Amino acid sequence: MSGSNKKRKRSFFQQPAAWVAENLLGDYLVLKNGRGRLEGKIVETEAYVGVNDDASHSFGGKITPRNRIMYQAGGVIYIYLIYGRYWCFNIVTSPRHEPQAVFIRSLEPIEGLDVMKRNRRTNNLQQLTNGPGRWAQSFGIDKTFLGRNITGDAIFISPGASRNFSVVKTKRVGVAYAQRSQNWPLRFYIAGNPFVSKA
DNA sequence: TGACCGATGAAT
DNA sequence: TTCATCGGTCAT
């Protein structure tokens, strides 16, 4: 349901990434700023499950300036740039020192579509939020979101009203470089939803 | 300091 | 299917 200010709590995000990724489907991502309220329904996610996942930035326990936020307790935002052009938006999950994260891949636009279109410089509703770079651009996401709390007043997750959908589980997109984990079924999306990315 | 890269998107 | 693209990352 659109317009709710109910929030997922921090404890929700301190579960394992695969669980969080699946259970975020149907929830709403809400962003409030001076220009109003943007809201999108989460329809596609991926889990990056930590030190044993060679598709994850934290594989092998690696710590760099970029990924160190992943080692925080679940509930903070991990942002990084891909291909020199697109911001990728992740939510850190799991307890502290367990560097897992959920990558939000696609949203269904719910509220603030005029602002989203302006940010994306397009009137194409279908291509507004159906991919990680696209929705981030629609929402004005950039590196200033790094480390922010996903349970605050400015940006938060609102629980979905119903779960009358089936979930598709497949391998993740764009991780063919991973030797061991490339086929792990850690991509989740709402079956039949038109805003799931094509991949 | 700079070679290298990529959890993509858009065009074809 | 192909490829443009480029700021950031990280090893040096």
Mean pLDDT across the stretch A104-129? 93
Q: Is residue A162 very low, low, confident or very high in pLDDT (cuts 50, 70, 90)? A: confident
| DSSP one-letter code for A64 | -
Residue nearest B10, CA–C1′ metric? A127
Over residues A75-99, the pLDDT tens digits come to: 999 999 999 889 999 999 999 999 9
**Model pTM score:** 0.95
Q: For residue A67, say whether its CB is under 7 Å from any atom of strand C.
A: yes
Rounded, the Å distance between the CA of A84 and C1' of C3 is: 15
Q: Is the CB of A56 under 7 A from strand B?
A: yes
Task: Taking residues A8-36, report their average pLDDT.
Answer: 95
Is the distance between the Cβ of A84 and the closest atom of strand B smaller than 7 Å?
yes
pLDDT at A2: 66
Residue A1 has pLDDT above 60, yes or no: no
Give percent above pLDDT 70 in chain A.
99
Strand C contact nucleotides, protein CB < 7 Å: 4-11
Mean of all residue pLDDT scores within chain A: 93
User: Is the confidence at residue A142, as pLDDT, over 80?
Assistant: yes
Q: Which residues contact A72 (CB under 8 A, 6 or more apart)?
A: A92, A96, A147
